[in-house]
A and B are shown apart, each in its own frame.
Chain A
Amino acid sequence: MIKRLPSLIIIILILILWQIIAFVISAPYILPSPTQIAFKIWELRKTLFTVHLPATMFVTFTGLLISVVLGIALAVVMDMNEKIANALYPLVIASQTIPTTAIAPLFVLWFGYSIWAKILVTVLITFFPITITMYDGFRSVKREMEELLITYGAKKRDIFLKLKVPSAIPYFFSAIKMAVPLSVIGAAIAEWLGAQSGLGYFSKRMMTQLDGAGVFAPIVLLSVVAMLIVGIVSILEEKCVKWRNDI
């Protein structure tokens, strides 16, 4: 708690400053104050928490799950075969250069307002960091540790399961922590561009009504949820990989 005190103080100071500026400007459709946003969240709590948040979370987690499965599988294949790695690595990087906001409408065109257009955007945005981080994790294995295992008669499978997989666990957590906010962003962008529910969609709808606090409310909610998920992953990481700094 003491460790987090400085950032807490900074957040409070920013909120106070924001409150003052919003009061001075006095145009809530441009810059609503933090208290107005909080009131808006409370006012819209039912629709935000029971309709739009679950819709966004469904897209976020489904996209994240698909990215994790595909990303790990691809990282394993790339680690097992250097030729495949050399062939796929540029493609994986190229996938990251595509601007999400530009390609998302295309997905809407292909899949309509269905859930898959949104999931695809989330996968596209999270697939790269997961694949590359996991690939780095598999390759982070110390050569001398691998050689020691070889002297015991280990085969490729043993090296992978007994050395590479455990060595990559800290990287897995880093990948997830990196991918969670990105998947939330991906889901929100996709909803913003074309959806019938979700926090991104809700924010867009509030904008058409010039409801500043209504635009901010889902954004605040998304940030809080992303921070909560990253916090939970960090706690899990601390429990699972206490040895992280011992390698």
Chain B
Amino acid sequence: MLNFDNVNFKYKGDDFYTIRNLSFSVLDGEFISIIGASGCGKSTIFRLINSLEKPESGSITIDSIPIHKIKNYSSYMPQKDLLYPWRTIKKNICLPMEMQNKTKKEMEEQSEKMLKEVGLLEYKNKYPRDLSGGMRQRVSFVRAILTGANLLLLDEPFSALDSITKIALREWLLSEWQKYKKTVLFITHDVEEAIFLSQKVFVVTTQPLTHFEEYEIPLNYPRDRNCLNTSNILQLKEELIVKLRQEN
């Protein structure tokens, strides 16, 4: 379980807090989306979890252990795929395993297995430029999975894609989440995307970020995009949009 306890944070040089006394928990296996206005501190949460930034006070723990005492607990998938253009697809997804000093054989087996599972095995020796945007995001997701971390931090991974690819990838992501049973924190600006994917939506309504407004999504898995057309979901979507507009 991921736990934020009274976390305070401000960026160097800032005289205001981005995050103030923030506390929240995420249970193992949950899929939670975070939505909020630009600059409200959503990505800062990921930077704190990734240890790219350190909180001024408060604690961030995974299963009650402070994150600075554990390794390889989370994996990050950014908005841009950030695949290394000089590496083949296979070598790109091996990158996290190289950091863990896995053997060549292990890397070979795991990467090929994963590529096969996501239908990209035939592209293993291709370079990122040979793939479409959607395929590159799938490769980026595979790379995140191959870190072996239980917590996946997905930061607007589909925002740069066209709407059709986006729809396909959302459904694909849900099936992958159910298959690998990872805990997912998903940042998005898209209310519909948040509702479609998550069990809960955390809405950022304050600045500095002091708390989330939590919304349970009344939908079961597996889901398809028709689920979004039911009256209670449309009502929830409207409610969230109104909430975000107020914030803006």
Contacts and interface: CB of A to CB of B under 8 A. Distances in A.
Given A151-B75, A162-B95, A243-B127, A169 B86 contact: yes
B216 interface: no
A163 B84 CA distance: 8
Interface stretch (A91-99, A140-148, A180-188): A140-148
B85 A153 contact: no
| Secondary structure class of chain A's binding surface, majority of residues | helix
Interface stretch (B96-104, B158-166, B199-207): B96-104
A247 B86 CA distance: 9
A162 B98 contact: yes
A145 B82 contact: yes
Contacts of A153: 71-72, 96, 99-100
B128 interface: yes
Contacts of B96: 152-153
Contact of B76 (A148, A154, A162): A148
Best-surrounded residue of A149, A152, A153, A158 (most CB of chain B within 10 A): A152
Interface residues of B, number: 23
B183 to A, nearest CB: 16
Contact of B78 (A148, A169, A243, A247): A148
Contact of B86 (A147, A148, A158, A166): A166
A152 B99 contact: yes
A163 B82 CA distance: 12
A150 interface: yes
A220 to B, nearest CB: 39
Interface residues of A, number: 21
Best-surrounded residue of B71, B99, B100 (most CB of chain A within 10 A): B99
Nearest to A247: B85
Contact of A144 (B74, B82, B84, B95): B82
Given A153-B99, A158-B99, A243-B129, A145 B86 contact: no
Contact of B84 (A147, A166, A241): A166
B196 to A, nearest CB: 26
Contacts of A152: 95-96, 99-100, 147
A189 B129 CA distance: 45
Interface string A120-153: 0000000000000000000000101101111111
Best-surrounded residue of B80, B84, B98, B127 (most CB of chain A within 10 A): B84
A82 interface: no
Contacts of B50: 147, 150-151
A246 B129 CA distance: 7
Contacts of A145: 82, 84
A30 B45 CA distance: 75
| Secondary structure class of chain B's binding surface, majority of residues | loop
Interface in B105-143: 127-129
A151 B82 contact: no
Nearest to A148: B82
Nearest to A244: B85
A151 B52 contact: yes
B144 to A, nearest CB: 10
Given A150-B52, A152-B95, A154-B99, A144 B80 contact: yes
Contacts of A147: 50, 52
A157 B50 CA distance: 20
Contacts of A144: 78, 80, 82
Nearest to A169: B86
Contacts of A151: 50-52, 74-76
A153 B149 CA distance: 12
A246 B85 CA distance: 6
A142 B96 CA distance: 18
Contacts of B147: 152
A23 B85 CA distance: 55
Contacts of B71: 153
A2 B75 CA distance: 49
A241 B129 CA distance: 12
A148 B52 CA distance: 10
Q: Which 3 A-B pairs have the closest CB atoms?
A: A243-B85, A246-B85, A152-B99
Interface of B: 50-52, 71-72, 74-76, 78, 80, 82, 84-86, 95-96, 98-100, 127-129, 147
30 contacts: A142-B82, A144-B78, A144-B82, A145-B84, A148-B82, A149-B95, A149-B99, A150-B52, A151-B50, A151-B51, A151-B52, A152-B96, A152-B99, A152-B147, A153-B71, A153-B72, A153-B100, A158-B99, A166-B84, A169-B86, A241-B86, A242-B127, A242-B129, A243-B85, A243-B86, A243-B127, A243-B128, A243-B129, A246-B85, A246-B128
